[in-house]
Amino acid sequence: MAGSDAAPELEMREAFGRALVELGQREPRIRVLDADLCTSTKASLFRDAYPGRFVQLGIAEQNLFGVAAGLALEGFIPFPCTFASFAARRGLDQIAISICYAGLNVKIPGSYPGLPTSRAGASHNCLEDLAVMRTLPGLRIADPGDNADLLAIMQAAVATPGPVYFRVTRLTLPPLPRTALGFQWGKGVILRPGKDVTLFGTGMMTSLCLRAADLLAADSVQAEVVHLASVKPIDRELILESAGRTRCAVTAENGTVLGGFGSAVIEVLADRLPVPVRRIGVQDRWIESGGIDELFTLHGMQPSDIAAAAQDVMRARAGQK
């Protein structure tokens, strides 16, 4: 999944740990909280660099977010670090009421989301975090497409008052094209212009959309690839602009298609521009344990599946004429 001829990138969780240390050098108010997962999330790098600013709370995720709320009330910028599954499920009440309802300045990294961590088992793997977190008023949400994106999101999170949730995929991702790419809340970027179909990607799926665009180009299809790292707020203007040009779209996300990123895109289009759309992601089912490529094939989330979905929506568009 990470194929590239360039020098190998860091696994995203390693990039996350290093980014925490870098941000800690600049911002003394940052405190990192852990629920006995720091060697997995790589928050251990911050612990080693700033032991006095690291709080180990043990396997007590609800307390993790409660303490984070208390620290935010005292003027600190807490990063309560845990797996996405424990944030979206076990600690959801504390995130909703103690953090989001109060509008507190807490930055929540959800590690190990989606298919790449299936071997962790159903209790530790999370498909629904984007869908769950999107429902919380005032919570900003982001899904980085590569390590540079992750660092920019973390920098924006620290600079932006209020609660933030962002994903940290356990995978080594190829770098996205850097031309015109930068992170801003509520803004996406066109990584590859096209006129025939739009491929909307977020997180690790954007790189697969770019590979799908290469497959489509071999069939003389010019696919536009749009990267939307800011899931909430989402770039409504860019979604409408691109889909208005191509009149059909495919969304791709590393998680469930129910209520997540694809749903966010469809909500925008349904309001203003109903066009044929296919959502690539995990359908309404639990995932199995297996290899990453095996699971992406099983769940129809490979670049070839994205390309096939693009062909489907183009045929649907033709049928509407």
Q: What is the CATH number of the domain that holds 90?
A: 3.40.50.970
Cβ contact 139:269 at 8 Å: no
pLDDT tens-place string over residues 250-277: 999 999 999 999 999 999 999 889 999 9
Strand 230-232, strand 140-142: pairing? antiparallel
What is the CATH number for 313? 3.40.50.920
**Residue 150 resides in a domain:** yes
State residue 125's pLDDT score.
Answer: 87
Say if 183 falls within a structural domain.
Answer: no
Distance, CA of 85 to CA of 168 (rounded, Å): 12
Alpha carbons 129 and 110: distance in angstroms, whole number? 8
72 and 206 share one domain: no
Same structural domain for residues 122 and 153? yes
Same domain, 16 and 162: yes
- Domain assignment present for residue 177? The answer is no
Note whether 92 and 209 are same-domain residues.
Answer: no
Angle at 206 between CA 205 and CA 211, to 5 degrees: 95
Residues 16 and 160 in one domain: yes
Please report whether residue 3 resides in a domain: no
Q: How far apart are CA 179 and CA 37, in angstroms?
A: 36
In this structure, the answer to whether residues 159 and 237 fall within a common structural domain is no
Q: Which pLDDT belongs to residue 179?
A: 56
Q: Buried b / exposed e across 8-25, counting CB within 10 Å, b at 16+? A: ebebbbbbbbbbbbbbbe
- The residue out of 168, 198, 219 marking a domain boundary is 168
Are 195 and 274 found together in one domain? Answer: yes
Evaluate whether residue 311 is within a structural domain: yes
Give the CA distances from residue 211 to residues 7, 198, 201, 207, in Å, rounded to whole numbers and listed in that order.
19, 13, 12, 6
Domain membership flag for residue 71: yes
Q: Are residues 45 and 125 in the same domain?
A: yes
C-alpha to C-alpha distance for 152 and 194, rounded to whole angstroms? 26
Beta strands (DSSP E) in 204-273 are 223-227, 230-232, 249-256
Sequence-ordered alpha helix ranges (H) in 103-235: 129-134, 147-159, 205-217
User: 196 and 164 share a domain?
Assistant: no
Are 159 and 196 members of one domain? Answer: no
Q: Which of 139, 168, 197 is the last residue of a domain?
A: 168
Answer with the one of 168, 199, 220 that is the final residue of a domain: 168
- The total number of structural domains in the chain stands at 2
**Residue 5, domain member (yes or no):** no
Distance (Å) of CA 305 to CA 187, 195, 255, 311: 26, 20, 15, 10
The reply to whether 158 and 216 lie within a common domain is no
Within its chain, how far is the Cα of 145 from the centroid? 7
* Count of C-beta atoms within a 10 Å radius of residue 236: 17
Do 281 and 255 form a contact (C-beta atoms < 8 A)?
yes
Token pair belonging to 120: 């962790």
Domain range spanning residue 225?
A: 189-320
Q: Answer whether residue 176 is part of any domain.
A: no
Q: Do residue 199 and residue 116 come from a single domain?
A: no
Are the beta carbons of 211 and 296 closer than 8 angstroms?
Answer: no
Dump strand ranges (E) for 12-127: 30-34, 54-56, 77-83, 107-111
| C-alpha distances in Å from residue 247, one per residue of 40, 149, 193, 312, 313 | 43, 28, 14, 13, 9
Per-residue pLDDT of the chain (321 residues; tens, 9 = 90+): 443 333 458 999 999 999 999 999 999 999 999 999 999 999 999 999 999 999 999 999 999 999 999 999 999 999 999 999 999 999 999 999 999 999 999 999 999 999 998 777 788 889 999 999 999 999 999 999 999 999 999 999 999 999 999 999 999 999 998 755 679 999 999 999 999 999 999 999 999 999 999 999 999 999 999 999 999 999 999 999 999 999 999 999 999 999 999 999 999 999 889 999 999 999 999 888 888 999 999 999 999 999 999 999 999 998 876
